[in-house]
Structure 1
Amino acid sequence: GAIVLSLAINVIMLITWNAKAVIEDCIKDDAINVTFSCPDLYDPIPVIQKFPLEEYKVTMWVLSGIHNLFSLFVLISYFLSYHPRFPRGTEIRDWFLKLCGNSNSDNDQEESKEVEPPSKLNTKFFSFTTFYYLIFLGMSIAGTLFHSYFFAFHLLNIVNNNQLLGGVIKAVTQNGVSLLWVAVLGFVV
């Protein structure tokens, strides 16, 4: 639901939004101006065309409100499915000891035991995924209250939930150094 609404909101913005000014218009209108000051060029609020303004506002408020509700449902389902937990006191203490370079003798004994693979459902509260879903809801609310540009963030969720695109991103990030060297080689050639 949230993905379809994100796509619908972004398509509506793509169709109806137009910039207030274009560089070519600023140059034609003021060819004598050496400083090239064109305030409309930097105004982020678009001109709404191809749709009556009142109908556009009502449509965006309704879609935004439903999107906020669906984003809240996505966050709630994440918390219900994975039960993110806060770090224990011993984990925080061990982290600080490792940071300082000290080692705890109890930890040395624990390391000699077989390490079990971590559970897929054992999620930490301070993980990237938890913050991603909190930002997901925050961007939805910001898109409703402030400006619809914030809904563009939700297109990332399409990539996040697609296995094929996720594999491409994982391959690019893992081979990032190699890609940088290829870019340097291409620049040299």
Structure 2
Amino acid sequence: MFLDHAAPSPARELSNGHVFLRTFAGEKGIVLSDIDQGVCHQIIAESLANPGDIIIGADSHTVTAGALGTFATGMGSTDTAVAMALGKTWLRVPETIKVVVNGRFTQGVYAKDLILHLIGRIGADGATYEALEFSGEAITTMPMSERLTTANMVVEAGAKVGLFPSDNVTESYLSSRGRGERYIALSPDPDATYESTIEIDAAQLEPTVS
């Protein structure tokens, strides 16, 4: 449980909500990340998300953890609360759009430019309730910080999840966070089928402003 989007609290009502959540977490034995510990998406990536996990959260940018090969997605508060209470939820398996990013970025071009280009190309609803699966040379050489940036924004195209391969970059990141034993290699099946494939030449991308 995280207190981050209104931290410190700007209003009495939110302060009361924080008190309630602290009390609730203590009574139920729930780990609480308080207002001084950072934004939930960064903490999840640094401390909780692992390849092959399923993570749901009451925030659309829960998709950030897809950078680690995690099926991470946002849900409404009610659905999230039900999942907490019952330990299960319902998901429709999304169709997948394969995004192949060939080549390498030129100087001054970063993951933010890539994802803004992709969203501009397919539109704000171009991947509604679909998975965006990233691959290609520019992806395999992309550091985890850039993968997190890319995965964080897939929801701006309506995507249910943005998935990266779990590879040597993932293994190195998990090891640096003290949980290298949680690493498993994950990549698409050789006969995987896709709704569509989008190819992007990384060398042709330019610095982009939303």
**TM-score in terms of structure 1 length:** 0.21
Between structures 1 and 2, the one with greater helix share: 1
Between structures 1 and 2, the one with greater strand share: 2
**TM-score in terms of structure 2 length:** 0.19
